[in-house]
Amino acid sequence: MYLITVLGNLFIILAVSSDSHLHTPMYFFLSNLSLVDICITSTTIPKMLVNIQTQSKAVSYAGCITQMYFFILFAGLDVFLLTVMAYDRFVAICHPLHYTVIMNPQLCGLLVLMSWITFVSLFFCTSLGVYFSSAPTHSSLSSATASVMYSVVTPMLNPFIYSLRNQDIKGALKRFFGMAAMKRPTILGLKKCP
């Protein structure tokens, strides 16, 4: 699941960056969402895989704090980017004639930058306070299941939901892989005549 998540999101980033037809606000936001999905899964899954392999449940305090910081950071960023994407679609649907004027490159960059700005000031401090002050009330099995659903399954499905069902992304990936196949040297196997 981790490899599918990383590869699916990397393919989206690759398709958007390599195809000039996809240099629009919608695909700009999709590629940022893909980057965040890679980051959010890479925050927790590698350590989880090591723990499963070694049959260990130990996490150092510093490792736990670091992991929580980045997980909350990228989860919040994910929410902000989804909000920005919703605004982009709102403008495209409700103001189609003014779309290119409203969603200019400067505004798109500013919206993504606002989502990144590193979110910490708005959400991280309050979330951390709530996390450390609350007593554990849920069972460990239900918490683990919820964690896996949010941190693994959702980012894995995002490429399929947001992009791979999109004809423009499919076309860009086909063109990219077609160009990559054309650039590879072809070796012909010739048989000797008797």
Dihedral of alpha carbons 142, 147, 153, 154, sign = positive
Taking phi over 0 as left and psi of -120 to 50 as alpha, with beta for the rest, 141 belongs to alpha
pLDDT for the residue 163: 65
What percent of the chain is predicted at pLDDT more than 70?
Answer: 68
Half-sphere exposure of 159 (CA within 13 A, CB side): 26
Q: What is the CATH number of the domain that holds 47?
A: 1.20.1070.10
As a whole number, mean pLDDT of residues 57-66 equals 86
Decide if 35 contacts 190 (C-beta within 8 A): no
pTM of structure:
0.68
The number of distinct structural domains making up the chain is 1
Phi then psi for 84, rounded to 5 degrees?
Answer: -65, -40
As a whole number, mean pLDDT of residues 87-112 equals 88
Q: Is residue 189 in some structural domain?
A: no
Q: Is residue 188 in some structural domain?
A: no
When pLDDT is cut at 50, 70 and 90, the band that residue 136 belongs to is low
Domain range for 99: 2-183
